Amino acid sequence: MGQLVNGKWVGGSDRQIGASGWEPRNEGFRDRVSSDGSTPYPAVAGRYLLVECPGCPLAQRVSMLHRMKRLEKVVPTVAVLPVMGEHGREFFREAPGQPEPLTGFRYLYEAYLASDPAYTGRASTPILFDLDQGRILSNNTRDIFAMFDRAFDALTEVHNSLLPPALTGQITAVMDEIYSGVTSAVYKCGFAREQSVYDTALRQLENALDRWEAHLAQNRWLLGNNMTEADFMLYTSLARYDAIYIPLFRTTTRRIADMPALSGFLARVHQLPGVAGTFDLHACMTHYFRSHLHINPTGLIPAPPALDWLSAPDKESRHA
């Protein structure tokens, strides 16, 4: 629990994420892999490393596409533990306390220091790490997603795109709407320090869920018949909603289980190739309930609710 300030790790309860209210992410590493030589970072196998975090919705969005595109042998992955400890996120190792062998780091913040010795901000995931240069290439979720969508196509047999150029404007507009109405709204509810802030964010969230419930009752995907990154973005928030956001962030006025269109949407996305393996409910609940001690000081993890969409078949054949 903490952050880097001018290259120094600063811990303490007052440095927990959300301890002072909702805060935007710092995604300032923006270099890109290219397949056409337009950047100094060629799309080659084995050079880049994807750092994932069980439980983090942004990291999961990237992991979903990584698995769907079958990039496991092209861009290997490592994971950090789901709980933020005294030194932030620690890399998963079979032998605890040892450095991660590909990078030599024990803690995620060390990757940030290696990339910018004076860095100020959170050590967040996902990151795409350049093993040749020993630094972070990108910690921007959308940029990493776009790289996996196209840049490595010559190295995989899966070439379908979730970011078709003709839909760029529509995808961005829908994702902006999801971000303001769902993704950030749940955190604003959970991290609110004033009743008016909570009330405003909750109304925004309610309106957004009702809007997407009505929309998905008539459409298979957010952009009609076109599955895009926007669908992955909404899925990662909704997948955590009933089990985590309701009890922890007090988003108590809606349940996804009571919204048939959103539940069906979750089931459809979850059954896509590679997606189920990126979602671990226990890791997600551990990630939230053990990391945000300023709103859950006991660190207790509640029993999960039944989530029918985890095993429900896609019965909405009218959208096929």
Using one digit for the tens of pLDDT, what is the confidence trace for 82-112? 988 888 899 998 877 789 999 999 999 999 9
Decide if 288 is catalytic: no
Query: Residues 6 or more apart from 49 whose CB is under 8 A from it?
Result: 75, 76, 77, 78, 102, 103, 128, 129, 131
Task: Write down the catalytic residue from 48, 53, 56, 107.
Answer: 56
In eight-state DSSP terms, residue 11 is E
Predicted local confidence at residue 174, as pLDDT: 98
Rounded to 5°, angle at Cα 166 from 216 and 272 = 45
Give Dmax (Cα) for the chain: 56
| pLDDT tens-place string over residues 291-308 | 888 899 999 999 999 999
What's the rounded Cα separation, in Å, for the pair 133 and 138? 13
pLDDT band at residue 16 using 50, 70 and 90 as cut-offs: low
Mean pLDDT computed over 61-80: 98
Residue 312 pLDDT more than 80? no
- Alpha-carbon distance of 168 to 33, in angstroms, equals 19
Q: Report the C-alpha dihedral over residues 193, 112, 85, 87, rounded to 10 degrees.
A: -110
State the sign of the Cα–Cα–Cα–Cα dihedral 162, 163, 169, 175. positive
Token readout for 24 is 């935007």
The per-residue pLDDT for 317 is: 32
Mean pLDDT of 267-271: 97
- Least confident interval from 29-33, 50-54, 91-95, 199-203: 91-95
Point out the catalytic residue in the list 48, 109, 187, 241.
Answer: 187
Tell me: cis bond preceding 313? Omega within 30 of 0 counts. no
- Tell me if residue 261 falls in helix, strand or coil: helix
Are 15 and 292 a contacting pair, CB within 8 Å? no
For the question of residue 56 being annotated catalytic, the response is yes
**CA gyration radius for the chain?**
19
Q: Is pLDDT of 25 > 90?
A: no
CB atoms under 10 Å from CB of 314, counted, come to 17
Q: Which two tokens stand for residue 151?
A: 């840049």
Q: What is the rounded average pLDDT of the residues 125-154?
A: 97
pLDDT of residue 2: 83
Q: Could you report how far apart the first and last alpha carbons of the chain are, in Å?
A: 45
**Total number of residues shown for the chain:** 320
Task: Tell me the mean pLDDT in the region 127-153.
Answer: 97
> How far is it, in rounded angstroms, from Cα 300 to Cα 159?
43
Other Cβ atoms closer than 10 A to 76: 14
Average pLDDT of every residue of the chain: 92
Cα-flanking dihedrals φ and ψ of residue 203, to 5°? -65, -40
Segment 125-129 mean pLDDT: 97
Of 310, 315, 175, the C-alpha closest to 243 is 310
Please provide the DSSP assignment of 28-76 as one string: --B---BSSSSSSSB--TTSEEEEE-TT-HHHHHHHHHHHHTT-TTTS-
Using CA atoms, how far apart are residues 207 and 238, in angstroms rounded to an integer? 14
